[in-house]
Amino acid sequence: MTMTRKYRARWPLFGAAVCSIAAFAPSAAHAACNLSVEPVQDQLVIRHNPLEAGAAYGTVEVNVVNRGDSECVGRLGASLRGETFGFASDDGAPAIPYQLVDEKGSNDITPRAGRNLRGMGGRAIRLMPGERSMELLSIAAAPDSATSQGRYTQSLDLTVSGDDGMLLGTKPLTLGIDILPAALIGLKGQLARARGTNSVDLGELVPGTKDLPITLYVISTGGYRVSIASENQGRLKHESAQWFVDYRLRLGRHDLDLTSADSFEIVSRRARFDNYPVRIEIGETAGKRAGGYMDTVTFTVAAL
């Protein structure tokens, strides 16, 4: 009877041991697959002028290394950390959308929804113990001309996960874009072309002020300086003789002294689209020789 009781008492213990081993077996298998995600650089910031043609583009290489003791099969992905999707600036400017692509598999892994995209299709990375694979990611963004200058970034996690969603490896990476100080200047309105440059007909020279049918415009990613230079130092010169008629220009609210180079500045941290109507003030014309008078005025802009 004593031997029978001992024999029966061992069955529950043996059964518990079997169940315990079976429950932990999958975790042990996953632990044996240990992928290390190793970007060549921990951040990529692209310098870009949004006033020039073309999108901002950059690439970053990523080593994926199997540091475990069994074969690993996973897919490359990206996820955010609770942030809103898009390159963001510290001063609250609108975020810039971007695209993140696994170039080897032509797989879009952009975390647009702010959620982890690991395991959602794409090319499988299969590595035996000790093997590594060099992956290439491309980043593209197309900020428009209304984008203000400054740095815009987003921090995300690069991930490799199995088909069952189990995370096999992860590494933080910061991506971003530097919007460069840039500005464009031009004239619009009733312009003609003469000698390879824009020209405007002043009509009959009569002393006084008149609005010209042209507007100077400036597009910029922030502050800028407009410089103005008159070839004849603020005088309209007779076409064939040394006769001059003095004049002044006004751009919007800015009165210009053209006897020497003049300029004005706009201080801003935001993108600008500014228009400056052009007004001219003609000086005394009495006693001047009849004929055509002209001057060449050069407008230039520099970003601040």
Q: What domains are defined for the chain?
A: 33-179 (2.60.40.2040), 183-303 (2.60.40)
User: 108: Cβ–Cβ under 8 A, 6 or more apart, which residues?
Assistant: 99, 100, 101, 102
User: Residue 96 has what DSSP assignment?
Assistant: B
Q: What confidence score (pLDDT) does residue 143 get? A: 95
Amino acid (1-letter code) at residue 3: M
* C-beta separation of 139 from 58 below 8 A: yes
Q: What confidence score (pLDDT) does residue 121 get? A: 57
Residue whose C-alpha is closest to residue 233's, from 246, 251, 252: 246
Name the stretches of the chain with pLDDT < 50.
1-30, 116-119
Read off the pLDDT of residues 211-250 as tens digits, 9 standing for 90 and up: 999 999 999 999 999 999 999 999 999 999 899 999 999 9
Read off the pLDDT of residues 277-296 as tens digits, 9 standing for 90 and up: 999 999 999 999 999 999 99
